Amino acid sequence: MYKNMEGQIAVITGGGSGIGRDICIEFAKCGAKVMVTGRTEANINETKKLIQDLNGYAEAYKMDVSNKENVESVFEEIYNKHGKIDILINNAGFSTPPTFCTNMSDSDWDGLIKTHLYGAFYCSRACAKFMKKNNYGRIVNMSSVAGVFGFAGNINYSTAKTAIVGFTYSLAKELGPYGITVNAIQPGIIRTSMTEEALNALEAKFVDETPIKRIGEPKDVASAALFFCGPDSGFVTGVIMRVDGGYVLNTGMDILMMQMCPDEQNN
C-alpha cells in the first residue's frame, strides 16, 4: 500500500497477538522496520517470525507498558540502535470479565487503567522526545466503541477508552508543531481472542445489528492504522476514526424500522 514506508521505524505495543499482530504484519509488508513489543516473549517472537517469513524486518522487545522504567529503557534502546522512531501504535490492552461497578475489584480497575491509559502515556512520552528531534512522527492510539457510549459491565475498559480520546486530542495539539500527528482508532467488534466468548454466544446478533453485516477482522483495524501513518497523512491529526462497520449507528429503533421497511428484492 505505502511502499515509501520503507525504512520507517515502527513501534507497536501489544504486537504479540490479535489486532497488534496484524498491524505489525501489515506495516512490515509496506516496508516498515517493525519493533514488536509485548509482555509475552513467545508471542512477540512468533509475530517476529511471521514477518521474517514474509521477508519483512522485525525485532522483538519484551515490554510491559504499565512499567515506566521498562518503557523508557526499551525506547532508548530502539532509538540508540536506529537513530529515530517514526511511528508508535499504542495498542497494548486487555479486558476483564464483565462485572458491575459495585462488584469490581481494585485490582481489576487499577490493572486495566494502568495498561491502557498509563501505558499510552508512558509510551507516548518516551517516544515523543525522539520524534521531536527529527520533526516527524506518527502516533496512533487505540480507543474503542466502548469509548463512545460505554459498555455496561466494563466500566474500567470504557473509562480507559474514553480517556484515550481526550489524550489524543491534547497530544495532537502539543506535538503538531513538530510535524508529529496523533490520531486514534475506535474498533468495534473485531474477531480476536478477546471477543471469542462473546462471538460464540452472539455472533449472529452482532452481524444483524451491524450495517456492513459482518464481524470486523484485525486487518480492518490495521488498514486504518496504515492510513494514519502513511506519508500522505501529514495534515490529518486529532482524528478519532471508528472501525466498526457502522455498529454504533444502529439503535433498537433503527433495527425495528429496517425490519418494517419493504424488501426491495421482493418488489
pLDDT tens by residue, 138-159: 999 999 998 898 888 889 999 9
What angle in degrees, to the nearest 10, is found between the helix axes of 106-113 and 155-175? 20
Hey, what's the cell of 131?
Answer: 520524534
Q: How do 87-90 and 240-243 pair as beta strands?
A: unpaired
Neighbouring C-beta atoms of residue 81, cutoff 10 Å: 10
CATH of the domain at 89: 3.40.50.720
Strand partners, 87: 10, 138
pLDDT at 86: 97
Number of domains the chain is built from: 1
pLDDT at 265: 56
Per-run averaged pLDDT (10 residues), the chain, 267 residues: 80 96 96 97 98 97 98 98 98 90 94 97 98 97 91 91 97 98 94 80 85 91 95 95 90 63 62
d(C-alpha 92, C-alpha 116), whole Å: 7
pLDDT at 257: 60
Average pLDDT, the chain: 92
pLDDT at 252: 61
Is 122 tagged catalytic? no
**Alpha helices, H only, 103-261:** 106-113, 119-134, 146-149, 155-175, 196-208, 218-229, 252-260
Give the Å distances, CA to CA, from 107 to 97, 111, 119, 162, 221: 12, 6, 16, 20, 29
> Taking a C-beta distance cutoff of 8 angstroms, is the pair 54, 103 a contact?
no
pLDDT at 132: 97
Give the Å distances, CA to CA, from 258 to 202, 261, 263: 20, 5, 9
pLDDT at 255: 64
- Among residues 2, 79, 122, 157, the one annotated as catalytic is 157
What range does the domain containing 92 cover? 3-266
pLDDT at 198: 80
d(C-alpha 53, C-alpha 207), whole Å: 34
